[in-house]
Structure 1
Amino acid sequence: MALEIEQFTCRDDNFGVLAHDSETGETALIDAPEERAILAAIERTGWKPTMVLVTHKHPDHVEAIPALKERFGLTVVGPAAEADSIPGIDRTLAEGDTVRVGRHEAKVIETPGHTAGHISYHFADAGIAFTADTLFALGCGRLFEGSPADMLGSMRKLAALPLDTVIYCGHEYTQANARFALSVDPTNSALKQRAERIDALREDGKPTLPTTLAEEMATNPFLRWHDPVIRRNLDMADASDEAVFAELRKRKDVF
């Protein structure tokens, strides 16, 4: 049974998502970055949302909630740790909780690092995960509130999902992330080929998402802290996983 997905751009580089169960007609928004773009997607698909699944509190993920809740009567669901910062929240979620969109059940994974209370949603039956600003295509979120250890723990949780999981992220950062990835893993043939595909997609004005966990495990340096080639390139062959991850994030911050 499929969970239908409509992905669309919002603001400058955000992605919005409608997740729709065709059998029951139930539809959820994943975050609410921009009212106008979301309303256009609803009009285009005919899918009227009944809830919004919030990943974290940042304004570019929640700012459209009040207007959309007033218009559609949405149930707002989001992380318990950030409930005070999410407008109109009706239900709070923590690690291991579940939420349903029609026939499809998502398990909540706490993925702190970008913010302290960030969560991701894994729809195991549909083979889909919404990772927002934790796991990006070829990258990870900037550490605004969490430590490298926090984000490393979050990435380990996501890396444990089935490799065929389709990953939807919060932003179109892939091309810039590819340039950084090549700077620390320049001999990775899969990465070089992927970077070429990404450049072609962006040249044509097409999105680079979704991705898959398998592709990220093969090419994303923030999931490859254990790789001996990356460690040698960082001159950190014998360093701890946390130290390698922290160095990667530090370099990306100034890249």
Structure 2
Amino acid sequence: MLSLRAVNHYYGSQHTLWNVDLDLEPGRCTCLMGLPGMGKTTLINCIAGYQDIESGSIFWHEASGPPCDLLTLSPPLRAAMGIGYVPQDKRIFSQMTVEENLRIAQRAGSDDGFTPQGRDIYELMPELYPLRQVKGSALSEDTQYQLALAGALVTQPKLLILDEPTRGMGQGFMHKLGDFIVRLNRELGLTVLLAEQHLSFISRVADRFCLLHRGRNVAQGNVQQLDTRLLEQFMTQNEVL
């Protein structure tokens, strides 16, 4: 699905990603782990095309064709290819309605308002249907995130990227979101990459992990391989259970 090799990134003179390797397998959910400031969002933005890399490669693989070099493509072209992205700031249009937001998002995709397996977005996310004429600014924070997620899904992504989806969310919404991600991934077969810190959430939704520390990939593997040594060394300072 996606492979990164020796990816390096700089902010000015600051070296922020150091020779990062990462492979995303189709139909799996992979979590980028690490404390704040360790490079998770930077790496996601490099994949989505919002940050340029200094060196290395990012290739998109599909069974129907040869590998595609993502570094040659703009963010809109990566979205059209099948990369859906929900950033931390959600990026919804606050003065437009739910319906208008989704129509704009559709233009980045390849079809007319359908999600994985041909499901209508309101079938997949029925809570949004009665709110379709409500402006984004009038929605709760939780519902704004649902709208941002719906906007990514209407593009019919093959890979869904979520940056810190539980940040600032209550336990109730986190549980609901976890159920939804599991459904997208395990029932509908959507490949998912998320940046996250909450171990309980990670262990519930993810199959694999990539642990970043100071911009370096210090460990990766199946989530079951996360052990006390790794967590105490790299995830204890700001961990929320």
Q: Shorter-chain TM-score: which interval?
A: 0.3 to 0.5
TM-score (ref. length: structure 1) = 0.36
**Larger RCO, structures 1/2 (Cα 8 Å, 6+ apart):** 2
TM-score (ref. length: structure 2) = 0.38
